[in-house]
Amino acid sequence: MTRRLVVIGADAAGMSAASQALRVAAHLGRDLEVIAFESTEHTSYSQCGIPYWVAGDVDGADALVARTAEQHRANGIDLRLGSAVTSIDLDAGHVVVDGGSGEQRVGFDELMIGTGAEPILPDWAREVPSVLAMKTMDDGAAWRRLLAATDGQAPESVLVVGGGFIGVEAAESFAKRGVRTTLVTRSSEPMAHSLDPQMGALVRRGLEDLGVEVVTGAEVSGIESRDGLIGAACVSGVEHRADAVALAIGVRPRVGLARAAGLPLGDHGGLVPDDRQQVADGIWAAGDCCEVWDRLLESHWYTPLGTHANKAGKVAGTNIGGGTARFAGSVGTAITRAGAAEVARTGLLPAWAGERGLDAVQVTIESTTAAGYMPEADPVTVSVVGERGSGRLLGGQIVGGRGAGKRIDVLAMALWSGLTAADVVDADLAYCPPFSPTWDPVQIACRKLDTAVRDPGR
């Protein structure tokens, strides 16, 4: 008997699940039919690449596509683009789909929800052209068109609203295009939800070195529209001239369908799958419409990242196909770039540790990405957090020059394995003058942390 999997949303999570389900089912000799509905005309593309496409770093939209619709179809997935699912009936086991020519019911044995996230839109941003997010392929295409306009409509200045990862990446992309760029954030420094202010200040400097004006502690309350472009934005009562506005105040799980179907949502507004990625019997979910288990917070958290979408989608697919897989969770690792500054974080900020009742100790060190005497040596700042007494590592942040950012993976691996600061100091990391000081900067930080969390005389 052929079972049918219906997938809603044909991006990272949905298509990872679809592909993996077919692969595992075939291996187990089970018949599985997979139909994937996608409301847009795009599938399996890199949302994270959009700012770099806008910046001109990426050749064309096609380059962002990891797998085309044709490739998915050749792999046996019945992929239907431009087909919006309008409702889910869990009891009847069908979805209603609008493919452009009227609605149609499609039954399922298993349902995979991969509806992703949607940008948060403030009231002032609605219905105004030249206020665009920077999330989807269509957003990217709109920015590319706007920036390339030859009728005098190309914006000379852009206001980026929001200082998180996407805001920083958007600001970098505009600055690299030579557009006068202002970034506005409510917080005292950029990336306040991810970094301590001292590290956020280094991000700000990275942006400022690119020519971006960073306005902190400020909020956009309204904009003045002018045919096609923006005229000015009101930023905490001060008028800022801007021809266009990039909205990057965050995203939230796109769960309208799931909510309407009666599926429960979590504290952060997302679906809350178990570690098999199941949200109800035969109903699976993964990606940005879900909350993610955080191993350090020991709770679900909203961490919309492509890495989790891919992993959790694959886990869902394995289970749907008849295999067994479990999603191991997140430790909150993330990385980006602000001009020449590589910016990375993992684990808990001291404040978060405090909220969890942990006695957290933080130390910050400055070092170099290579041996100090090498031309490759760029400054790097590493901040690490550990638990007083036990020395257990709780988190880390890195901002620095080339080669700084991916060092966060050492701390992420340490968090993954529950290591102490002393363990990281002992670890056998790679050293050679073009790549590191003799003690890697993360080890220098952990050495200082090890002293701070224990008897200071060690």
Map the footprint of a second copy across residues 318-347, applying CB under 8 A.
318, 323, 327-337, 342, 344, 346
* 137 belongs to the binding site for a second copy (CB under 8 A): no
How far, in Å, CA of 239 to CA of 233, rounded?
Answer: 6
Stretch that binds a second copy, among 123-131, 252-260, 378-386, 422-430 (CB under 8 A): 422-430
Residues 3-22 that bind a second copy (CB under 8 A): 12
403 binds a second copy (CB under 8 A): yes
Can you tell me the distance from the alpha carbon of 449 to that of 404, in angstroms, rounded to the nearest whole number? 19
Taking CB under 8 A as the criterion, which residues in 168-207 touch a second copy? Answer: none
By CB under 8 A, is residue 118 in contact with a second copy?
no
Count of beta carbons in the 10 Å neighbourhood of residue 217: 11
Q: Computed from CA positions of residues 227, 232, 234, 235, in that sequence, does the dihedral angle turn out positive or negative?
A: positive
Does position 349 bind a second copy by CB under 8 A? no
Q: Check the CA dihedral 37-40-41-47 and report its sign.
A: negative
The Cα 82–Cα 116 span in angstroms is 16
User: Which residue number, 51 or 200, has a Cβ lying nearer to a second copy?
Assistant: 51
Positions in 70-109 near a second copy (CB under 8 A) = none
Binding residue (CB under 8 A) for a second copy from 319, 368, 397, 436: 436
- Helix axis angle, 165-176 relative to 197-209, nearest 10°? 20
Give the footprint of a second copy on residues 218-257 (CB under 8 A).
Answer: none
Q: How far apart are CA 301 and CA 265, in angstroms?
A: 12
Comparing CA positions, the residue from 384, 382, 386, 377 lying closest to residue 366 is: 382
> CB-wise, 80 or 311, nearer to a second copy?
311
**At its nearest, how many Å lie between a second copy and the CB of residue 412?**
5
From 211-219, 261-269, 276-284, 403-411, give the range in contact with a second copy by CB under 8 A.
Answer: 403-411
- Amino acid type, 61: A
Of 228 and 433, which has the nearer Cβ to a second copy? 433
263: three-class secondary structure by DSSP:
coil
**Which of the stretches 138-146, 155-163, 360-368, 372-380 binds a second copy when contact is defined by CB under 8 A?**
372-380
Distance CA 33, CA 37 (A): 13
Applying the rule CB under 8 A, the residues between 267 and 306 that interact with a second copy are 305-306
Selected range binding a second copy among 187-195, 197-205, 349-357, 430-438, rule: CB under 8 A: 430-438
User: Which of 27, 73, 226, 259 is the binder for a second copy (CB under 8 A)?
Assistant: 27
> Does 441 interact with a second copy (rule: CB under 8 A)?
no
Among 282, 364, 439, 448, binds a second copy (CB under 8 A): 439
CB closer to a second copy out of 216 and 318: 318
Q: Segment contacting a second copy (CB under 8 A): 83-91, 248-256, 387-395, 415-423?
A: 415-423
| Nearer to a second copy among residue 185 and residue 310 (C-beta) | 310
Count, residues in the chain: 458
Least distance to a second copy, CB of residue 16, Å? 10
Q: Is 269 helix (H, G, I), strand (E, B) or coil?
A: coil
Query: For residues 232 and 241, is the Cβ–Cβ distance under 8 A?
Result: yes
Q: Where are the beta strands (DSSP E) in 154-297?
A: 157-161, 180-184, 213-215, 220-225, 230-235, 238-241, 244-247, 251-253, 278-280, 283-285, 292-294
Token readout for 337 is: 């770039």
Residues between 44 and 73 that touch a second copy (CB under 8 A):
46, 48-49, 52, 57-59, 63-64, 66
Among 210, 272, 429, 452, binds a second copy (CB under 8 A): 429
**For residue 205, what is the DSSP state?**
H
Question: Binding-site residue total for a second copy (CB under 8 A)?
Answer: 73
CB of 437 to a second copy, least distance (A): 9
Would you say 152 or 430 has its CB closer to a second copy? Answer: 430
Q: Max Cα separation, the chain? A: 75
Q: Does 307 bind a second copy (CB under 8 A)?
A: yes
Is 409 a residue that touches a second copy (CB under 8 A)?
yes
Nearer to a second copy, 110 or 342 (CB): 342
Give the shortest CB-237-to-a second copy separation in angstroms. Answer: 35
Written as six digits, the tokens of 154 are: 């190309």
Separation CA 344–CA 445 (nearest Å)? 15
> Strand 292-294 relative to strand 180-184: parallel, antiparallel, unpaired?
unpaired
Q: Which is nearer to a second copy, 127 or 428 (CB)?
A: 428
Kindly state the tokens that stand for 62: 């096609």
The whole-angstrom separation of Cα 330 and Cα 310 is 13
Contact 78, 45 (CB under 8 A): no
**Alpha-carbon distance 192 to 257, whole Å?**
31
Q: Output the smallest distance, CB 446 to a second copy, in A.
A: 12
